[in-house]
Structure 1
Amino acid sequence: MTDMEIQLRGAMDDLADDAPSAEGLLDAVHRRGRTVQRRRVVLGVVAVVAVVLVGSSLLTLGGRDEAVERLKVATPGPSAVSGSASPRPATDLGKAPSPQVDFGWLPDGFPEPTVRLLGPGAWGLDTRRDEGLAALQLQIMAAEPKVRTSPGELTDVDLKGSDGKLYWVPVHAAGDPKWGHTPPEAEGPYAELSFQRQPGQWIRLILQNSAGDVDTGITRDDLVKIATSLVEKERPVPDAIRIGAVPAGLTWGTLTNDDYRTGAGFVDADVRPQAVSQEEQPNGHNGSVATSLSVSIFPADALEITLYLPNQDPGNVTIPGGTTVTKLDGRTSAITTLRSNPKLAVVVSANDDLGISDADLTAMAETTEPGPDAAVKPAR
C-alpha cells in the first residue's frame, strides 16, 4: 500500500461518522486495518472565519462577491425544516479557539507541535522525532478520560501533588501475543499518562512508535517530566480555511488540516464536553466527533468525495460542473470545485434539522476558500 493510499483510507475513518453513507463504503471504512506506516500530522490545525446562512438571515463580512449577494436573498428550499423547527440566525464565531496549555519541556529532537481541535473544548498537540520513531500527543480536554488497564501495566504516579495514571507497554516485537492483537499495544511500545491538571482540565499524554521492536528512547520519568512541565500558554491554530458565519447555537467541534483534507466541523453549543476518544492517537487519528455542519476542502479526485456523490467510480472520481446538491441519510450536501483552483473540491454537509436551504448550502460551498496555512494538496 502506498503512502497516498494510507492517507486516503485514514481520512475516510475521520469522516465516516458524520458523512452520508454510500452502499458498502462505510462498512469498508470501519474495517480499515491500521498499519505500521501511519499518516503523519502536518502543519497544524485551522483557524476559521466563516460564511453560513440559515433561512434568509445572514451576517455578512466585507469583501464578498456575487455568491454572497445570493446568500442575502436566498429563501428556504426543500431541505429547510418547517413546523416546530425554525431557522436560526447566522452568527460570526470568529477564529477557532486555541488551547491555553503548551509543552514547557520536551526531550531533544522534538520540533514545535502541530495543533488540532478534537471536540468542543478539546485539543491535540502532536510532535514526533526520527530517533526511535517516537510520536507524542498532548490531549487537553474538559471531561475525565478513560484509562487503559490491560494488557499493559497501570501504575499510580505523583505529578507534583496531582495523582496520575501511567499505562505502559514496553518495547516488543509487533504481533507478540502477550500484547494482544489490536492497536495500539500490538504494534509496539506505547504509553499513556492521564491526570487532572486543574478543575475542568484533564490531560492525556500519549507516546508510541507503531514500529514493533524499536525503542522510543523515552522513559517513564521523561513522561512525568513532560507532564509536570506543562505551561499556561496559548498554542494558536493556523489560518487554514475561511467560511464566514454559522447558524446560531453551533460551536466549533473539529478542525483538521492535512494534505488530504482541510476542514471544520460544528456541533450544538449546548452539547456536554466529552473526553477525547481512546482511538485518537499520535499514529492513528481515528477519534471522531459527530458534527451538525461540516465544511471540507479535498483534492478534486479524493476518494472521500464518493461519500457525498453516490454511484461514483472510486478509481475515477469526477465532480459535475457547477454545484451538486445531494441528500443522503438525513444530511444535505453541496459539492463543487474551488473557483480559484479547480483541482480542489469543497463539500458543505449539514443535518437537515438545521433548516439550511439548498441555495444557502450552495452559496456557502461556492464562497469557501483555503486560508494561507491550508495544507490540503490539489489533485494531480
Structure 2
Amino acid sequence: MDDLNRMLAETMHDAAGDAPSEAGLLSAVHERSRRHRRRRLVTMAAAAAVVVTAAGIPLVTVLTGHPDPVVPPIASVPGPTATTPGPAPSTRPAASSAPARPDPSTPSGDGSAESTAVKLTSGWTAPPFPYTLPASDGMRAPTASMNGGAQIAFFEATELREHADVTITVTATRPAFSATAEETPVSVRGHAGTLRTRNVSPAKQLTLYWKESPARWIQLATDDTYRPDEVVALADSMTGAAVAVPPPFDLDLSPKGLVTETVTASRMVFRLPGAVPGTGGFSTVLLKRRQLTDPTEKINGYDAELTRGADEVTLSIDVEDWNATLRITVGNGLTVSDADLIRYATGIRVLNRSNPE
C-alpha cells in the first residue's frame, strides 16, 4: 500500500505541474467566450442584413436600433399570443377631454380619394411562423418575429453546437444581397437553391436560399460550424409548424383588414394588403423616453400628445413606469379619427418581453 500511495502522489504531483496556471486558464476561458460572442453577433447581423434588404428597409434603421432580446418562445400553435401583462395601471381611466378641436372625428390625412379610413376590430392574432427544425440537445426552441413582411425564426445554439445559431427567413419575394459572396448551386428540398459563403471573421457566414413555392422564398443562415452539406441537410429537415410570434404589446383593438408586417420586441406595424412590404402605415413603437412638447390627452392616466400633419397623425404617450414613450403613427395612405386613435391607445398593455428602442 505504501508503494501504491507513493506512485499516486508522484503522478498527481506531475499532473499538477503540467496544468495551466489559474490566470492562464481564466484568460483562455474569457478568450473563448469572446470568440463565441463575436461569432454570434456576426451571424445575427448577417441575417438581419438579408432580411432588411429583402424587405426594402434601410439597413441603418435596423443596425442602429436596440437589439431584440432572446425571449422564451410561445407554444407552437396558431392563435392569439396574449400573455401576462407587464407593469400597467390597475385601471384604465377614460381619456380626458382634450382641448377643443374643430372636429375630433375627422380622419387624418389630406382627405384625398387615395386615403383609406382605418376601422378597429377586437383583439389581434399573430401570423405564425410556418416551419421548424427537429429538436436537438444543441439547439433551443425557435423565437419567431416579423420585420417588414419577412417572417423570421431564430434558433439559438448552445455550447454543444459551438453557438452556431440558425436563422430561417420566409419572404414573398426573392431575397436581395448587398454584400458579395461565393455562390454555389445546390439542390434543396427538391428545388434549385444557392449557397452563399461570405469569408468574414471570426467565422464564414453561410446562407442557403431557394424558391419553396410560387409566392414563398426561404433563407437559412448560419456559420461554417456547419459544412455546406450539413446546411442543406438542415434545410431538408425543416417541417411544417405554426410557431407563434410573441408581441411586445397586448392589444384590445387592432386595425381591421390590415396586414401585420412587423412584430419585434419594440414595435408592431400594419399595412394595407396591397401595399409594398416594408412601407407600414399604422405603427405602434415603444421608444426610450422622450419629452412631450405639449401634452393634450390623458391615456390610462399617462400624459399624451396628439399631433396632426398633412399626411399623418401621431399620438405619443409618456409611459413613466417603463421610462419609455409609446408612439402610435398613422399615415402613408391610411387615416383614423381622433376618437378611434385614442380608443386604440387605451387598449394597449406593454408586456414584460418588450424592449424600448
Pairing 1:292–2:281 present: yes
Structure 2 counterparts to residues 241-256 of structure 1, below 5 A: 241-256=249-264
Pairing 1:94–2:102 present: no
Q: Distance in 2 between matches of 1:151 and 1:86?
A: 41
Pairing 1:196–2:185 present: no
Conservation of the 8 A alpha-carbon contact between 2:109 and 2:312: no
Q: Which has the higher helix share?
A: 2
Equivalent AA in structure 2 for residue 253 of structure 1: E
Q: Distance in 1 between matches of 2:260 and 2:286?
A: 17
Conservation of the 8 A alpha-carbon contact between 1:337 and 1:346: yes
Pairing 1:323–2:352 present: no
Equivalent AA in structure 1 for residue 316 of structure 2: I
Q: What is the aligned residue count? A: 279
Structure 2 counterparts to residues 23-42 of structure 1, below 5 A: 30=60, 39=67, 41-42=69-70
Secondary structure, in 3 states, of the residue corresponding to 1:67? coil
Secondary structure, in 3 states, of the residue corresponding to 2:117? coil
Q: Distance in 1 between matches of 2:116 and 2:128?
A: 31
State the match for 1:367 in structure 2: 347
Equivalent AA in structure 1 for residue 152 of structure 2: G
Alignment CA distance shift 1:240-1:42 (3 Å):
same
Pairing 1:346–2:326 present: yes
State the match for 1:268 in structure 2: 272
State the match for 1:20 in structure 2: none
Secondary structure, in 3 states, of the residue corresponding to 2:313? strand
Runs ≥4 residues deviating over 6 A: 31-34
Pairing 1:333–2:333 present: no
Q: CA deviation at 1:114?
A: 0.7
State the match for 1:138 in structure 2: 168
Bigger radius of gyration: 2
Pairing 1:207–2:222 present: yes
Conservation of the 8 A alpha-carbon contact between 1:78 and 1:357: yes
Structure 2 length-normalised TM: 0.63
Alignment CA distance shift 1:236-1:95 (3 Å):
same
Pairing 1:227–2:242 present: no
Conservation of the 8 A alpha-carbon contact between 2:247 and 2:263: no
CA RMSD of aligned residues (A): 4.3
Can you list the C-alpha shifts for 1:29-73, whole angstroms capped at 9, x where unaligned? 949978xxx945421689668xxxxxxxxxxxxxx9553899xxx
Q: 5+ unaligned residues in a row in structure 1: which ranges?
A: 1-5, 18-26, 50-63, 175-187, 209-215, 275-288, 312-319
Alignment CA distance shift 1:78-1:157 (3 Å):
closer
Q: CA deviation at 1:267?
A: 0.5
Alignment CA distance shift 1:310-1:222 (3 Å):
farther
Secondary structure, in 3 states, of the residue corresponding to 1:95? coil
Conservation of the 8 A alpha-carbon contact between 1:346 and 1:368: no
State the match for 1:155 in structure 2: 184
Q: 5+ unaligned residues in a row in structure 2: which ranges?
A: 1-40, 53-57, 75-79, 83-90, 98-102, 295-300
Q: Distance in 1 between matches of 2:119 and 2:63?
A: 43
Q: Distance in 2 between matches of 1:338 and 1:267?
A: 25
Structure 1 length-normalised TM: 0.60
State the match for 1:237 in structure 2: 245
Alignment CA distance shift 1:140-1:352 (3 Å):
closer
Conservation of the 8 A alpha-carbon contact between 1:45 and 1:256: no
